A and B are shown apart, each in its own frame.
Chain A
Amino acid sequence: MTFEQLAFYFFASVAILAAAMVVTVRNPVRAALFLILTFFAVACIWMMLEAEFLAIVLILVYVGAVMVLFLFVVMMLDIDFDQLREGFAETLPIGATVAVLVLLQLVIVLTSGPFELEQVAAPVPAAADYGNTHQLGLLIYTYYVYPFELAAVMLVLAMIAAIVLTLRDRTGTRSQKPHEQTQVKRKDRVRLVKMNAEKKN
């Protein structure tokens, strides 16, 4: 077994084990941490495929930002574990059916026709000075420019929708208005009072 194979099996088994832990572990914070480990292992596999840009961006975006916010929310939740386990027996058959169906579909697709291992040749290893980032940029901004722009528009749309849906005009809040604070003049805040000296009785 070569070093690459050894590394692949290591990262793949870490990814699968961690993914299994995400759904089986009881504590939601630990589940989120296992999800981070899954992302990490997958990023390492991508790195082995010479897709270093995607691998680093996966860590940067998902591990560095998305999961931080995810943990933020999960830690704030006050989850009652007994309540979570209550409906387990009733939903188990449905969940098991869905899982088996998905597994079957995956097996059928991957063992038939164009996705078979013989159909896809192993990629030629790139030269040492090959820059994945540069190539990806070239492709995105030339060949795939319309799908790329479309995805960007959809993301902006989703972002604006999220803001609009949660925006409420509340009256009576006591928030600060920095532009008013910085424009304050001396005469708005200080009142000089002229008074005669008082005499001691």
Chain B
Amino acid sequence: MPEFILSILSIFPDWLQVVLASLIKIIAIVAPLMLAVAYLTFAERKIIGYMQIRVGPNRVGPRGWLQPIADAFKLLLKEIVVPARSNKYLFVLAPILAIGPSLAAWAVIPFSDTLVLSDIDASLLYILAMTSMGVYGIIIAGWASNSKYAFLSAMRAAAQIVAYEIAMGFALVGVLMAAGSLNLGAIVNAQAGGLFSWYWLPLLPLFVVYFISGVAETNRAPFDVAEGESEIVAGFHVEYSGMTFAVFFLAEYANMILIAMLTALMFLGGWMSPLGFWSDVPLLGDGIHWLLLKTSAMLFFFLWFRATFPRYRYDQIMRLGWKVFIPVTLIWIVVMGVAMFLTPWGHLFH
């Protein structure tokens, strides 16, 4: 933390210093994240626009750059309509439950070797636990709205997320077998040595399964049956308006960025430079810019998928999750275990 902030903090009593320092760190993570979410929506509309040979939003501000700000103000100023026969407390609680875990997960993300809010030992497990809780926002929203479409969507989301979480968890088991640690920083450091030491190569099946499961877990196209507008209007958030809707939106995009960053951390070497021998050169060497670059690249895939693939049919989603991804991850874990402990090729996975 910079010197001048520390000197300002030193006028407070000790316990308050800790609280204030943590608060400042949390704001330093959440504020850029919210800005990234706003501009991710803009990037999404622009990129999909160009893919469909349109220009996308270009009216507000220079070249449309102020569009997300205008959207945010529009949502802030709109009325929040609570349906008459809904469950009012749970209706308001649902968006909070959606955004809470998706922000809490950021507490353990290491942005570089030293830049991490909470460097806990079991950070991978913590992230799994937090992301698995995001589904409550959707389920409770669907149930509390007292609407058929919202409820159908909640049921779909619950079944889908439970199915893909298992595949996701098993993919992470492979990562922690290779790294020998549950700590995200240690996982990145285990991948030191350049492009071909990163885990995307030895764990290629797990990398693919993890990222596609991540797309399914965040309810993004082509797995967005929970809000399939052609069948169930808008799914779980059909009754939500104004700020309550915006909070769901924020949670979805924050989760997308989280999944992209986790993929970059666990399979693409995190903040490591792709040229291992240049790790000390400024700009080309290791640093937070590499992590952000890799995250942006993975986010581009999210948007590209949405522009390319038609929506999966529901039974096909279930089949892909249970009958394809889970067996693939299980087999690869067994292959890794056998290779590491019974054959001389174990070093390939380290």
Contact = CB atoms under 8 A, between A and B. Distances in A.
Real binding pair:
yes
A8 to B, nearest CB: 18
Interface string B6-20: 000000000100000
B158 A52 contact: no
Contacts of B126: 56
A174 B323 CA distance: 19
A65 B121 contact: no
B259 interface: no
B159 A72 contact: yes
Given A52-B120, A53-B122, A64 B154 contact: no
Contacts of A71: 139, 143, 158
Interface of A: 3, 29-30, 33, 36, 52-53, 56-57, 59-60, 63-65, 68-69, 71-72, 75-76, 131-133, 176, 178
B165 A64 contact: yes
B215 interface: no
Contact of B129 (A36, A59, A176, A178): A59
B319 A178 contact: yes
Which of A36, A56, A131, A178 is packed against the most chain B CB atoms within 10 Å? Answer: A56
Contacts of A60: 125, 128-129, 132
Nearest to A64: B132
Given A52-B121, A60-B132, A68 B315 contact: no
A189 B125 CA distance: 49
Nearest to A52: B122
Interface in B45-100: 90
B143 A65 contact: no
Contact of A57 (B120, B125, B159): B125
Nearest to B319: A178
Interface residues of B, number: 28
Contacts of B129: 56-57, 59-60, 63-64
Contacts, number: 67
Interface of B: 15, 90, 120-122, 125-126, 128-129, 132-133, 135-136, 139-140, 143, 151, 154-155, 158-159, 161-162, 165, 182, 315-316, 319
A60 B162 CA distance: 11
B162 A69 contact: yes
Contacts of B15: 3
Given A29-B143, A60-B125, A132-B122, A72 B158 contact: yes
Given A57-B125, A63-B132, A178-B316, 15 more contacts: A33-B140, A36-B136, A52-B122, A53-B125, A57-B129, A64-B129, A68-B135, A68-B158, A69-B162, A75-B143, A75-B154, A76-B155, A133-B121, A133-B122, A178-B319
Contacts of A69: 158, 162
A64 to B, nearest CB: 3
Nearest to A76: B155
A75 B151 contact: yes
Contact of B132 (A33, A52, A65): A65
A141 to B, nearest CB: 13
